Structure formats: C-alpha cells, structure tokens
C-alpha cells in the first residue's frame, strides 16, 4: 500500500497535477476577486471565507480526472483489480495521494492567500482547521466521481458536473465554520457537521467507487 501511495504521488507530480497547478489556480482566484468586487476592504473581509473555500474546492477539481485515468490508460488499473489488495483500499490510497498533492498544499497556503482578501485575524486558524477537516471529503468524493467516469474520453467535464453537487454541503459547513471563527462566534456545530461528512464519505464511498471501477473494467 505504501508503494502504491509513493507511486501515485510520483505520477501526480509528473503529470502536472501536483502542488503547483492547484496552488496557482487558487492564487489566481484569490487575486482576481478583489478586482471584480471592488476595493472595499470591508466587503473583502465578509466574503473572504467563502471565496477561499470556493477557490480551494475548484482547485481540487483540476486533478480529479487523473486519479484513475492514467492507470486505466496504461493497464495498471486492470492489474490492481486482480491483485490481492482490495479495490476499496486502492481507492483510499489514491484519494489520499490526491489529498496530499492537492488538499494539503491548499490548506497550508490558505492563510497566506487570506491576506489578499483581508481575512479577519480570528479567521485564519478556523480557516485552516475547516480546510484540514473538509478537504479529505473533497478528495474521496472526487475519487468516487473519477471511478464513475473512468474510461470515458474527455470525461473531465462530466466528472465536474457529477461531483460539484456533492461538494456543496462540504463547502457550506466549511465556509460557515471559517466565517464564525472570523466573527468570534461558536464554531463547533459546523465543524462537527463537516467532520461527519468527511467520516461518512470515507466510510461509504470507497465501496461505491470500487464497485464502479469493477463495472467499468468488465
């Protein structure tokens, strides 16, 4: 399993879906928003949690189609399907590799990008906490969507349409936790909801993704 994780990390970096692409997109979104909404710093402070979460969510979408597609094209996915490793574990490892190359860098970079949007001082810690709890859900949900579209030519657009509605609850509670933290309010409720979504996704979606892969490989 560790070798599979290391291999996926190397493939992600070589295929251009690593740290740089997602961070660059996240930075572009953060920099362009103030130009679109105007120079009102008060407005920037209000919308900062939502914009940062939306930027992280969209940045995670960029590399979702590569989770299984590269293995499908070179035949490695067929070998993994017949290997003694359960396919559910393979899905979890690939989702973890996606999070390490997408979700984790975005989580660590979010406070830096929050400066551009004048994020209130109290919101930085809660922004990082909410992203750390919520981005694993984005990766595992994305792995499920990638399993559904594996083998489809130009399935990236379909993948985005499939997973975006599933991302909405995560973004809502993540944004709410960061917003409440920035305003000095209680954050436990949205964080617990966010953790519940992540735990539920990790518990159920690997089985659904594994079943989808088996169907697509027949």
**Across 82-101, average pLDDT:** 89
pLDDT band, very low/low/confident/very high, at 15 (cuts 50, 70, 90): low
3-class state of residue 196 by DSSP: helix
- DSSP secondary-structure letter at 102? I
Burial of 75 (0-12, 13-18, 19+ CB in 10 A): exposed
* Chain mean position to CA 117: 21
- pLDDT over threshold 80, residue 151: no
pLDDT at residue 67, as a whole number: 84
CB-CB contact of 149 with 159 (8 Å): yes
* Chain mean position to CA 88: 19
Tell me the helix, strand and coil percentages in the chain, rounded to 5. 85, 0, 15
What's the domain range around 29? 2-217
Q: What integer best gives the mean pLDDT of the chain?
A: 87
Per-residue model confidence as pLDDT tens digits over 136-148: 999 999 999 999 8
- pLDDT over threshold 80, residue 85: yes
- DSSP secondary-structure letter at 120? -
- pLDDT over threshold 80, residue 129: yes
Quote the tokens at residue 203: 């518990």
Range from 61-70, 118-127, 173-182, 201-210 carrying the lowest mean pLDDT: 61-70
pLDDT at residue 16, as a whole number: 54
- Indicate the angle between helix axes 104-114 and 41-61, nearest 10 degrees: 160
Q: How many domains does the chain have?
A: 1
3-class state of residue 123 by DSSP: helix
User: Which of 70-74, 91-95, 121-125, 191-195 is the most confident on average?
Assistant: 191-195
């Amino acid at each position: 399993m560790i070798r599979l994780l290391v291999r996926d990390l190397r493939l992600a970096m070589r295929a251009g879906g690593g740290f740089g692409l997602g961070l660059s997109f996240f930075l572009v979104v953060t920099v362009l928003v103030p130009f679109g909404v105007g120079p009102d710093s008060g407005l920037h402070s209000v919308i900062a949690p939502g914009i940062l979460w939306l930027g992280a969510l969209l940045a995670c979408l960029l590399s979702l189609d590569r989770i299984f597609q590269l293995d499908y094209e070179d035949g490695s996915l067929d070998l993994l399907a017949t290997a003694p490793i359960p396919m559910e574990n393979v899905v979890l490892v690939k989702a973890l590799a996606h999070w390490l190359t997408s979700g984790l860098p975005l989580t660590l970079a979010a406070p830096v990008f929050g400066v551009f949007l004048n994020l209130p001082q109290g919101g930085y810690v809660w922004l990082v906490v909410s992203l750390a709890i919520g981005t694993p859900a984005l990766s595992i949900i994305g792995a499920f969507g990638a399993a559904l579209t594996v083998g489809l030519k130009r399935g990236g657009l379909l993948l985005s349409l499939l997973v975006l509605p599933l991302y909405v609850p995560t973004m809502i509670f993540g944004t709410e936790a960061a917003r409440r933290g920035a305003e000095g309010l209680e954050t436990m409720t949205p964080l617990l909801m966010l953790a519940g979504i992540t735990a539920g996704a990790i518990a159920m979606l690997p089985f659904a993704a594994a079943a989808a892969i088996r169907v697509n490989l027949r």
